[in-house]
């Protein structure tokens, strides 16, 4: 049982997590854990919401009705995931409106790949295949999270996302089986996106220095372990359809049982962490515009809430 002194309580809580203990929304938790969860899950929520924007631009340009349906469904999923995750953040104490306001003020963080512009239809396939593959690796590992509401949400999200990667891979393979121009387009997209994928999981931080792993057990795998898992699964898949990965150093070291690659572009990632990516201003601006455009909807709903509340009281 957890005792009354605050310090002992925190120590006992940390021991509980170290033993694989699980936490629910209605359980007591130290403020450090709560803040770490808010920061972590809010960034995840922002990424789901902002991730819808690069793909949204292509709905009207999708080449077939099947692609259009799939792309629309994927975007609907991403926005739905954002909503589920903002709810978790809200139960931890930060209202959804505060998260969105931080985001549109340029203070919110979101995944690096969504700070870049999309140029061709092949970008849509590359994002759906490889960005989703990178995200799925992370999300799978989060199903063991110490915070159970988050772990269960990950289970739901992973299940819903199972088709996203297939949809993207199908697009790219179709292009690779097409004309020389289509192949070129797919290759050009991969060449452009590869560096962003190599920094996607973050720098190689040892587990003991990553508090989200070693102290709070929010995640269970290191950044490097996730990157290796991503490379393991996707490098052969890219190569078998004739795509060339733009890294001359990339090879599997049988002895060390890991992928060797040239130093990723960490400066680019640092710039993005300061919200200074190539398309950051445009994306955040678009989100701000749609938030402001939607104000009348929120006002109407709020009015509806006060009316129904009044009815209960009367």
Partner 1 sequence: MSDFSGNILGQPMPSASDEGEVFEVFQQDQKDPFPHHGGNVRAPDGELAVHYAREFYGRRQESSRLWIIPRSALLEVRTQTPLPPAREMFGDGETQVNAAQSFAVFGQKQAGRPLVWVQDLEEMAPEDAEKVTRRTAQNIEGGYVRLWVCPRSAILELTNQDLLQPPLDRSYRRLDGYNIREKLRIARQRVQAEKELSS
The answer to the question of residue 305 lying near partner 1 (CB under 8 A) is yes
Residues with Cβ < 8 Å from 235, sequence gap 6 or more?
245, 250, 252, 259
Binding marks (x or -) toward partner 1, 15..54, rule CB under 8 A?
A: -x----xxxxxxxxx-------------------------
The answer to the question of residue 286 lying near partner 1 (CB under 8 A) is no
The answer to the question of residue 304 lying near partner 1 (CB under 8 A) is yes
CA distances from 190 to 9, 196, 256 (A): 50, 10, 27
Q: Tell which residue, 193, 198, 73, 49, has the closest CA to residue 122.
A: 193
Rounded-to-integer distance, Cα 46 and Cα 29, Å: 24
CA distances from 148 to 25, 42, 121, 218, 225 (A): 8, 16, 38, 10, 22
Q: Tell which residue, 139, 169, 145, has the closest CA to residue 157.
A: 139
The answer to the question of residue 2 lying near partner 1 (CB under 8 A) is yes
Calculate ∠ Cα 245-278-242, nearest 5°: 15
Binding marks (x or -) toward partner 1, 91..110, rule CB under 8 A?
A: x-x-xxxx------------
Binding marks (x or -) toward partner 1, 138..157, rule CB under 8 A?
A: ----------xx-xxx--x-
Nearer to partner 1, 281 or 302 (CB): 302
* Structure-block tokens of residue 109: 């963080």
Among 87, 140, 258, 288, binds partner 1 (CB under 8 A): 87
The answer to the question of residue 177 lying near partner 1 (CB under 8 A) is yes
The answer to the question of residue 62 lying near partner 1 (CB under 8 A) is no
The answer to the question of residue 90 lying near partner 1 (CB under 8 A) is yes
Nearer to partner 1, 17 or 199 (CB): 17
Rounded-to-integer distance, Cα 247 and Cα 251, Å: 9
* Structure-block tokens of residue 65: 């009705």
Cβ-contact 24, 148 below 8 angstroms: yes
Choices 51-59, 200-208, 235-243, 260-268 (CB under 8 A): range interacting with partner 1: 235-243
In the complex, the residues that contact partner 1 under the rule CB under 8 A are 1-2, 13, 16, 21-29, 66, 69-70, 73, 76, 80, 83-84, 87, 90-91, 93, 95-98, 148-149, 151-153, 156, 160, 162-163, 166-167, 169-170, 173-174, 176-177, 240-242, 301-302, 304-305, 308
């Amino acid at each position: 049982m957890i005792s009354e002194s605050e310090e002992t309580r925190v120590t006992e809580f940390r021991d509980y997590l170290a033993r694989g203990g699980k936490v629910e929304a209605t359980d007591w938790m130290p403020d450090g854990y709560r803040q770490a969860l808010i920061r972590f899950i809010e960034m995840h929520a922002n990424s789901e919401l902002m991730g819808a924007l690069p793909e949204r631009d292509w709905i009207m340009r999708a080449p077939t009705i099947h692609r259009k349906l799939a792309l629309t469904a994927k975007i609907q999923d991403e926005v739905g995931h954002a909503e589920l995750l903002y709810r978790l953040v809200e139960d931890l104490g930060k209202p959804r409106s505060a998260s969105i306001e931080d985001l549109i003020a340029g203070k919110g963080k979101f995944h690096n790949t969504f700070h870049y512009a999309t140029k061709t239809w092949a970008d849509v396939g590359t994002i759906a295949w490889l960005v989703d593959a990178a995200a799925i690796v992370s999300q799978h590992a989060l199903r063991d999270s110490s915070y159970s509401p988050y772990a269960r949400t990950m289970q739901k999200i992973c299940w819903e996302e199972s088709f996203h990667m297939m949809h993207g891979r199908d697009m790219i393979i179709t292009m690779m089986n097409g004309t020389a121009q289509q192949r070129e387009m797919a290759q050009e997209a991969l060449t452009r996106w590869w560096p962003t994928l190599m920094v996607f999981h973050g720098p190689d931080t040892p587990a003991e220095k990553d508090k989200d792993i070693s102290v709070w057990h929010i995640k269970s795998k290191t950044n490097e372990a996730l990157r290796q898992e991503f490379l393991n699964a996707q490098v052969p898949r890219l190569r078998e359809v004739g795509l060339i990965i733009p890294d001359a150093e990339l090879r599997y070291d049988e002895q060390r049982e890991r992928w060797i690659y040239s130093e990723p572009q960490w400066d680019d990632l640092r710039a993005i962490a300061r919200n200074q990516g190539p398309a950051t201003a445009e994306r955040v601006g678009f989100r701000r515009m749609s938030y402001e455009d939607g104000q009348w909807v929120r006002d109407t709903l709020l009015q509806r809430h006060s009316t129904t509340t009044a009815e209960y009281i009367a």
